[in-house]
Amino acid sequence: MLLNKNTKTKKLLRSIPSKPGIYRMLDSKERVLYVGKAKNLKKRLQSYFQSVISNQKTNLLMSKVSNLDFTVTNTENEALIMEYTLIKKHKPKFNVVLRDDKSYPYIFISTEQEFPRVEFRRKNKSTKGRYFGPYPNVSAVRETLSELQKVFNVRQCKDSYFNNRSRPCLQYQIKRCSAPCVNLISKKGYSLDVNSTISFLRGRNTSIINTLIKQMDQLSSEKKYEEASRYRDQIKRLKEIQSKQLAISNQKYDLDVIGVASDGVIHCVTVLFIRNGSISGSKNYFPKIHNCNEINVIQDGFILQHYFDVKPPGEIILPEAAGKKDLIERSFQLKFGRKTKLNHNVRGNRLRWLKLAEKNAKSGLQYEISSKSSIKNKLKTLGDLILQGKVPKRLECFDVSHTSGEATVASCVVFNESGPLKSDYRRFNISTAVAGDDYAALSEALLRRYKRIKNQEITKPDILFIDGGKGQLSVCINILKSLGIYDLNVVAIAKGSKRQAGNETLFINKKTPIKLPSNSPALHMIQNIRDEAHRFAIIGHRNKRKVNQRKSRLDGIEGIGPKRKRQLLKQFGGIHGVLEAGIEDLESVNGISKDMSKRIYDNLHKGT
């Protein structure tokens, strides 16, 4: 969504769920500027739109943000893990990247040893053993180790200490270790304790908690309430630390999980990306299917279109059974040369991921409904202002961008009832004859565009916006008149001397200029389309400048290819040396004849 500090944006933000999750701030090129997590997404994101933001970093961030994306999670810890994953992946410029590059802490079990050890460790793939986690911080791991030690009595001492014991240590005396160092427990018995620890950390065995519950109940019946309360606290703590992370799985597989939500008119498909066993992000899609609220129809239509453009992972989890599962799977294998399974009847982590995808789809649907409602309201207010109450269905806006006349580009952006219609956006490379002349550049772009509209090759907009003032408005109206187009409403948007948002003056069809209040929905729509045209023009201009900067003045000279160009630049130490060289100097270069040297000299010194 396009962000700006106005009432309607705040209304849209209110539609974001009050749930934990992560959010991504994006710039105009969809690059990630900042990744954050929140216990309450709605409250956190609303805080970015306060009238006064004292934090300088936040002010700078918001000045560069164009779009916002978010993913709902089940818990705040999951949000923390996903935040870490995305920061590692995107390295956003507004996030703090740890210089020591520490990863999240894990619990490690040295399963390769005769008497395995349980310990805290940063993940290191070169060390053989089992890792469990990640945990949000070191203190969580240490608390977990402490509790596991009390329950399972598995050693946590260092190998050097373990190998040199001749009698049990204090840990045995306080019942936190079974003393395998001096053979006070058999290898088989110790292995059972290790396996119980692994089962518990994997979240696959609740019998341990059930056993503790029975012990607690027995002590309570014997009126040993103090000991029973200790078991009660232990059970509570063990349930809190039980490793059932959705954000990270112990199995390293790649799959996509699809969630679908629909109100019959608007449909949202969320794809949750699981890569290497972890959630790497999500993306919402809004397919257009008229008069349909059947999940399986929306799902199947999306799969057939999306995954024939994007290579699918080895498995796709669906909310419902695919209509033509075998056919789709065979088609994937023929196209991509690998098997892809379509599953819907899942359990365990896959089921929890599926529920998470469905939760995100519902949140995305609610947000899109709110967004569409806001756009309709803006268009209605705009129609009341300009079209005598008729709601506009198509808007166009033009802008021109250049740097001192260099690489001039004009842009045309289109909005409809759904917002930006990017498939209809166009850029116009303006000829050098009018470089630096904004009026001439605008005239050329309008003439090229509206010739096609006159010939009915392109749909005519209801309102045409121009970024500029009276001069740009006159140019536009004259171009339209020359083409015989008299029934189009034209609006010029002048920023004013201070160029402040909310202080724009509107020139509508050469009528008396007007200023709208800063909270006007019509003004917000005009600002949106004007800013989008400006963004689109600047990107085109910058791209054109980059291309021009890579060009050499030797390009285009007859007889000068890449090889001779390299020889010239090498011989004279660069283009400046070539410019200073005379005809005889150029002729001295191997492969350059007298005629060619004269041709090079004449081309480089035109107009001098």
- Choosing among 3.40.50.720, 3.40.1440.10, 3.30.1600.10, 3.40.50.300, the CATH entry for 7-90 is 3.40.1440.10
Q: Would you say 353 and 318 are in contact if contact means Cβ atoms under 8 Å apart?
A: no
Low-confidence ranges of the chain (pLDDT < 70): 1-11, 77, 80-81, 84, 95-104, 123-126, 133-137, 140, 202-208, 230-231, 233-234, 237-252, 276, 290-291, 432-435, 496-499, 549-551, 607-608
Phi, then psi, of 287 in degrees rounded to 5: -65, 150
Domain 562-604 -> CATH class: mainly alpha
pLDDT at site 565? 80
Residue among 393, 428, 382 nearest 408 (CA)? 428
- E strand map for 249-363: 255-262, 267-275, 278-285, 315-317, 341-343
Superfamily of domain 255-367: UvrC, RNAse H endonuclease domain (3.30.420.340)
Torsion over CA: 359, 364, 365, 371 (sign): positive
SS (H, E, C) 527-592: HHHHHHHHHHHHHHHHHHHHHHHHCCCCCCCCCCCHHHHHHHHHHHCCHHHHHHCCHHHHHCCCCC
Cα–Cα nearest to 372, from 420, 422, 421, 418: 418
Question: Could you give the CA distance from residue 57 to residue 54 in angstroms, rounded to a whole number?
Answer: 9
Helix locations, 14-137, DSSP H: 41-46, 56-64, 76-90
Give the pLDDT confidence of 403-448 residue by residue, as tens digits. 877 788 999 999 998 889 999 999 999 875 566 788 999 999 999 9
* Radius of gyration of the CA atoms of the chain, in A: 33
Give the span between the Cα atoms of 33 and 197, in whole angstroms. 41
Measured CA to CA, the distance from residue 377 to residue 528 in angstroms comes to 14
3-state SS class at 414: strand
Q: Beta-carbon neighbour count of residue 580 at 10 Å?
A: 10
| Amino acid letter, 185 | I
User: Phi first, then psi: what are they for 282, rounded to 5°?
Assistant: -150, 160
Q: What is the pLDDT of residue 596?
A: 86
Domain ranges across the chain = 7-90, 112-241, 255-367, 394-544, 562-604
Q: How far apart are CA 238 and CA 249, in angstroms?
A: 19
Q: Tokens at residue 188, please?
A: 């088989």
Give residue 419's pLDDT.
87
Q: What is the CATH number of domain 394-544?
A: 3.30.420.340
7-90 against 562-604: fold identical? no
